[in-house]
């Protein structure tokens, strides 16, 4: 490639890699596989090596990807958190070993800086340089800082020099010790990850909740840790393995393996795969062993890390602008296999999302026999140009999820069949629709058996019908025992039905029956919310009840009249209209009427709209009102509430411990009022 062509390609590669690095490091939502990204970076490195005068500081070969996310405090790393040079074959590993041996040998011969204890029979430099081989865990790299044995701060790698302070999120990880067994000052580096089984469970739950699936375990871990709300991190199955001492003011070490053993002794969860090798041949043997057994590990890896064990040697070898010269990462290529896409089935999730599943000719990939895999959605099928009868290439992404990579189009015979998403639910026969701007096709049948568990949970929730005592496990048991099949069946449950769920359950049963009967008197907006109409929450349900007053009038509402409601919008209006047009909806509402549920709005019209066109943000705890009560008062006076402060905010109502919303309001010049001022405004 001549210089002009190289310059053009380097420019393209810098733009492409910068885009995908942002998706990976900053957005935690990659569009391509790690292997594809690695190949782009390898091409860029090779071109820059051929044309060093074309290297610029904005190239990702010159710095670590990643920036500090808005909302986090910056942390300057005392010791940079560098990345590793990636290699993809053993020839490169031999070259790495040759460089290491040469530098150490020259330094010893020329400067005699390092003294060695050497048996007389072992006088080759190869016997002095030993390597530790570790698994390259697929997660998010972090630094943990301890003072006098107490965990004081944790940060992401960021760009290697500056990271994000995520201390509160890291404190939610049980395997990060809050206090060490010895009162030392130390900074260690580790990898936060999510185990394979936990990742599968989490993605399954997200699919059931109609949330987007994580592409791989690394992004799940990174996305969890880079949340401003530590409760989100606390709800995720995060784990950590420590793999390096960054700085130690109290204890000194001579070898890497010695330091890892010490870290384990004082309470750290250290990478369990750490093998000392006497030479490069042993190192390659261990890399191959890890590769052969990677599917047996309960955490995802994408390579093996090779580190010089002697810490004095590390000092001699040093580092460059981005990577240490004493370590390197061997990346395993993803194992791919060819198989036949025999058929398509469609699964209906608990929230109605219809997912196409590929039925495959069984094939063994990365230690697992794969016979089916998700095709995600209609867009994925079109993007890959998949057809029934195609020969396809599959691989396991992140060692966990099998995925279809591409079609082997040259093997098509002309007998392949197009794949079409259903327009009717395969379980209940109700309409299956895909809304504009969304990728999923969904069943909108309120009585669909596949959706009943989630439907009933929502119906009984506090913001809907508020049926106390009807928890998730009770609902699941009622469904499993076939005591209920849908929402309306709750109102025909007997005392004996419920009592049979628990030992000595008479009192529990009576309380639940009382709560179910009490819910019959709820206001109309609660029932509307409880029906689980897509895009319609508590606020929109109140608007609908306020506009139509009765369930009968709402059922007859035209699409045009729905669109005209304040803050409703076309998508929400269409969702309501389509929902009430379904026969299943009409059937369910008729059953609820017969069960005695209130179908009328009980709200008394309030002509006082003193808060019209005003937006309130509530923060902190109030003494006289709950958050919900204060919001209802504001809405009754024609105002609106929001969860975030913006330039459109009229007032921030601040109670005790107001937090970051107060700071944001002050920076934007938004008026902040206390509880007493609010009470004066509503008198």
Would you list the DSSP string of 255-289? Answer: BHHHHHHHHHHTT--B-S-EEEESSHHHHHHHHHH
Q: Span 242-253, mean pLDDT?
A: 93
Give Rg (Cα) of the chain: 31
Looking at residue 250, its pLDDT comes to 86
Give the DSSP per-residue string, 622-640.
-SSS-HHHHHHHHHHTT-E
What strand order describes the sheet that includes 150-156?
A: 150-156, 140-147, 186-194, 238-248
Distance between CA atoms of residues 604 and 184, nearest Å: 66
pLDDT for res 365: 81
Reported confidence tier of residue 70, pLDDT bands at 50, 70, 90: low
Helix (H) or strand (E) holding 320: none
Q: Is beta strand 441-443 parallel, antiparallel or unpaired with respect to 417-418?
A: unpaired
Report the C-alpha gap between 635 and 615 in whole angstroms. 10
Beta-strand relationship, 615-619 and 651-654: parallel
Cα(397)–Cα(404) distance, integer angstroms: 10
Q: How many percent of the chain have pLDDT more than 70? A: 91
Which residues, listed in sequence order, are joined to residue 164 by a DSSP beta bridge? 74
List, by residue number, the catalytic residues.
Answer: 136
pLDDT at residue 358 in the model: 95
Mean pLDDT, to the nearest integer, of 558-585?
91
- Tokens representing 52 are 């060093």
pLDDT at site 25? 60
Q: Which carries the bigger pLDDT value, residue 474 or residue 203?
A: 474
- Residue 19: its H or E element: helix 3-21
**385 or 364: which carries more pLDDT confidence?**
385
Q: Which residue has the tokens 């010790």?
A: 177
The answer to whether residues 99 and 272 touch, using CB atoms and an 8 Å cutoff, is no
The CA distance from 311 to 598, in Å, is 76
Residue 533 has pLDDT above 50, yes or no: yes
Percent of all residues in the chain with a pLDDT value above 90, rounded to a whole number: 53
- The dihedral of CA 227, 233, 236, 237: what is its sign? positive
- What does DSSP assign to residue 603? P
Structure tokens at 358: 């590929």
State the pLDDT at residue 47.
86
The pLDDT-based confidence of 332 (bands split at 50, 70, 90) is confident
Nearest residue to 64 (alpha-carbon basis) of 324, 333, 331, 326: 324
647: number of Cβ within 10 Å: 7
What is the β-pairing status of strands 391-397 and 336-348?
antiparallel
Quote the tokens at residue 138: 């697929």
pLDDT band at 283 (very low <50, low <70, confident <90, very high): very high
With cut-offs at 50, 70 and 90, classify the pLDDT of residue 366. low
Q: Helix (H, G, I), strand (E, B), or coil: what is residue 147?
A: strand
Distance CA 183, CA 146 (A): 9
420's CB contacts (< 8 A; 6+ apart) are none
Confidence band, pLDDT 50/70/90 cuts, at residue 114: very low
331: which residues sit within 8 A by CB, 6+ positions away? 35, 38, 86, 87, 88, 136, 302, 303
Per-residue confidence band for 80, with pLDDT thresholds at 50, 70 and 90: very high
What is the mean pLDDT of the segment spanning 261-285?
96
Taking the C-alpha atoms of residue 191 and residue 497, their distance in angstroms, rounded to an integer, is 50
In a 3-state reduction of DSSP, which class is residue 338?
A: strand
The side-by-side arrangement of strands in the sheet containing 86-87 is: 86-87, 327-331, 301-308, 131-137, 274-277
pLDDT at 213: 72
Strands (E), 140-185: 140-147, 150-156, 162-164
The answer to whether 243 and 270 are in contact (CB under 8 A) is yes
Confidence band, pLDDT 50/70/90 cuts, at residue 287: very high
Does residue 74 contact residue 171 with C-beta atoms inside 8 Å?
A: no
pLDDT band at 465 (very low <50, low <70, confident <90, very high): very high
Q: Is 157 exposed, middle or buried (0-12, 13-18, 19+ CB in 10 A)?
A: buried
Q: Is the dihedral of CA 655, 656, 657, 663 positive or negative?
A: positive
Helical axes 34-50 vs 3-21, angle rounded to 10°: 150
Per-residue confidence (pLDDT) for residue 3, from 0 to 100: 81
Instruction: State which H helix or E strand residue 174 sits in.
Output: none
**Residue 123 pLDDT greater than 50, yes or no:** no
Q: Can you give the pLDDT at residue 590?
A: 96
**Mean pLDDT value across residues 345-355:** 86
User: Which pLDDT score, from 0 to 100, does residue 521 have?
Assistant: 95
Closest CA to 140 of 295, 298, 26: 26
pLDDT at 230: 80
Query: Does residue 237 contact residue 194 with C-beta atoms inside 8 Å?
Result: yes
Whether the per-residue pLDDT at 657 is higher than 80: the answer is no
| pLDDT band, very low/low/confident/very high, at 343 (cuts 50, 70, 90) | very high
Question: Residues 527, 598: contact at Cβ < 8 Å?
Answer: yes
Question: Who has greater pLDDT, 23 or 132?
Answer: 132
Report pLDDT for 117: 43
pLDDT for res 64: 55
Arithmetic mean of pLDDT, 136-149: 93
C-alpha dihedral sign at 556, 558, 564, 567: positive
Euclidean distance between CA atoms 551 and 612, whole angstroms: 27
Place of tokens 């130690």: 248
The answer on pLDDT for 127 being more than 80 is no
Domains in the chain: ranges and CATH: 3-62 (1.10.287.610), 86-331 (3.30.470.30), 336-418 (2.40.50.140), 444-594 (1.10.150.20), 615-682 (3.40.50.10190)
- Give the whole-angstrom CA distance, residue 475 versus residue 360: 35
The 10s digit of each residue's pLDDT in 411-441 is 999 999 999 999 999 999 999 999 887 888 9
Cβ atoms within 10 Å of 65's Cβ, excluding its own: 21
Q: Is the pLDDT of residue 541 over 90?
A: yes
- Mean pLDDT for 206-215 is 70
Q: What is the pLDDT of residue 312?
A: 93
Q: What is the pLDDT of residue 266?
A: 96
Which residues have CB under 8 Å from 640's CB, separation 6+? 567, 614, 615, 616, 634
pLDDT at 130 exceeding the cut of 90: yes
Residue 153 has pLDDT above 70, yes or no: yes
Which residues fall within 8 angstroms of residue 347, CB to CB, at 6 or more apart?
A: 354, 355, 357
| pLDDT in the model for residue 55 | 82
- Exposed / middle / buried, residue 221 (Cβ in 10 Å: 0-12, 13-18, 19+): buried
Model confidence at 597, in pLDDT bands (50, 70, 90)? very high
Enter the tokens of residue 565: 């409601």
d(CA 249, CA 185): 6
Tokens linked to 309: 């064990």
Mean model confidence pLDDT for the chain: 87
Q: Which residues pair with 270 in a beta bridge?
A: 242
Query: What's the length of the chain?
Result: 683
More confident residue, 469 or 56: 469
């Amino acid at each position: 490639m001549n210089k002009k062509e190289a310059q053009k390609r380097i420019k393209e590669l810098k733009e492409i890699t910068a885009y995908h690095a942002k998706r990976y490091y900053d957005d935690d939502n990659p569009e391509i596989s790690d292997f594809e990204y690695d190949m782009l970076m390898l091409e860029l490195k090779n071109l820059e090596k051929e044309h060093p005068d074309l290297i610029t500081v904005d190239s990702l070969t010159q710095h670590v990807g990643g920036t500090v996310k808005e909302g986090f405090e910056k942390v300057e790393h005392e010791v940079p958190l560098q990345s590793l040079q990636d290699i993809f074959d053993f020839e490169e590993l031999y070259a790495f070993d040759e460089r290491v041996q040469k530098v150490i040998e020259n330094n010893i011969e020329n400067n005699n800086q390092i003294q060695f204890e050497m048996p007389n029979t072992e006088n080759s430099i190869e016997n002095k340089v030993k390597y530790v081989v570790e698994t390259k865990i697929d997660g998010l790299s972090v630094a943990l800082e301890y003072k006098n044995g107490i965990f004081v701060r944790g940060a992401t790698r960021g760009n290697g020099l500056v990271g994000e302070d995520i201390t509160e999120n890291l404190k939610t990880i049980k395997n990060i010790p809050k206090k060490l067994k010895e009162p030392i000052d130390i900074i260690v580096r580790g990898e936060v990850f999510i185990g394979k089984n936990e990742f599968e469970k989490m993605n399954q739950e997200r699919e059931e909740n109609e949330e987007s699936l994580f592409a791989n375990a690394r992004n799940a871990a990174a996305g969890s840790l880079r949340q401003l709300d530590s409760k989100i991190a606390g709800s995720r199955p995060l784990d950590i393995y420590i793999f390096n001492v960054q700085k130690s003011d109290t204890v000194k070490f001579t070898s890497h393996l010695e330091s890892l053993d010490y870290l384990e002794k004082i309470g750290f969860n250290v990478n369990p795969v750490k093998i000392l090798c006497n030479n490069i041949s042993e190192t390659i043997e261990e890399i191959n062993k890890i590769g052969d057994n990677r599917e047996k590990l309960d955490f995802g890896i994408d390579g093996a890390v090779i580190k010089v064990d002697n810490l004095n040697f590390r000092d001699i070898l040093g580092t460059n602008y981005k990577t240490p010269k004493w370590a390197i990462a061997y990346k395993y290529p993803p194992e791919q296999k060819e198989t036949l896409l025999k058929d398509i089935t469609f699964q209906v999730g608990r929230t109605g999302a219809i997912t196409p599943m590929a039925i495959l000719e069984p094939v063994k990939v990365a230690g697992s026999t794969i016979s089916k895999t998700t095709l995600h959605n209609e867009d994925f099928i079109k993007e890959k140009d998949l057809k029934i009868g195609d020969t396809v290439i599959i691989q396991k992404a992140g060692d966990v999820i099998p995925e279809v990579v591409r079609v082997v189009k040259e093997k098509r015979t002309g007998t392949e069949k197009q794949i079409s998403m259903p327009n009717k639910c395969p379980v209940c026969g109700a309409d299956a629709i895909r809304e504009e701007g969304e990728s999923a096709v969904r069943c909108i049948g309120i009585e669909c058996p596949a959706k009943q568990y989630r439907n009933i949970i929502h119906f009984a929730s506090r913001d809907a019908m508020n049926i106390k005592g009807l928890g998730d496990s009770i609902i699941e048991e009622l469904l499993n025992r076939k005591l209920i099949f849908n929402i309306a069946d709750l109102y025909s449950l007997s005392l004996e039905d419920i009592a049979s769920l628990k030992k000595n359950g008479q009192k529990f049963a009576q309380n639940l029956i009382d709560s179910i009967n009490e819910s019959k008197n709820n206001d109309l907006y609660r029932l509307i919310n409880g029906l689980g109409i897509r895009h319609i929450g508590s606020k929109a349900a109140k608007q609908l009840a306020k506009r139509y007053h009765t369930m009968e009038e709402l059922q007859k509402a035209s699409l045009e009249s729905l669109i005209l409601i304040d803050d409703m919008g076309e998508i929400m209006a269409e969702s309501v209209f389509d929902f009430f047009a379904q026969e299943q909806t009409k059937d369910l509402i008729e059953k609820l009427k017969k069960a005695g549920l209130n179908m009328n709005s009980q709200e008394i019209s309030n002509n006082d709209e003193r808060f019209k066109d005003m937006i309130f943000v509530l923060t902190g705890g109030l003494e006289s009102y709950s958050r919900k009560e204060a919001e209802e008062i504001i809405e009754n006076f024609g105002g609106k509430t929001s969860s975030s402060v913006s330039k459109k905010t009229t007032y921030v109502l601040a109670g005790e411990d107001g937090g970051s919303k107060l700071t944001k309001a002050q920076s934007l010049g938004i008026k902040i009022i206390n509880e007493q001022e609010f009470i004066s405004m509503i008198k």
